Structure 1
Amino acid sequence: MNKNVAEKLHSGDEVKIKKTGEIKTVIETDVTNKSVVVTCDDGEKYHHKDLL
């Protein structure tokens, strides 16, 4: 997922994890200058490039 798309994610949105293909629900997004870190319902944090 590119940074611009990840910045628009909201709590409750669904994302797909690249490595596993699992669908997770977004809990929170943390936006910095160069990246977006997405916290999902499994308690894990994912960099925006790890998501589809």
Structure 2
Amino acid sequence: MFPDLGNAIHLGTELEDVAKLIPEKLVQVTSEIRELNSRSIKFEASKKQHVSHKIV
């Protein structure tokens, strides 16, 4: 139903391994997660929504 969100969650579960094994890819993976989330989570400016996400 939400394949991009599922992929983002899966990548998120792998962040610790990426950081340990291939740290040079960490920025790329977090950017990919951010992109997948932005395609999955749509906000309507007319509604007050209390959802936020931040990848640091």
TM class, shorter-chain normalised? Answer: under 0.3
- The answer to which structure, 1 or 2, has the higher relative contact order (CA under 8 A, 6+ apart) is 2
Higher helix share: 2
TM-score (norm. length: structure 1): 0.24
Higher strand share: 1
Greater radius of gyration (CA): 2
TM-score (norm. length: structure 2): 0.23
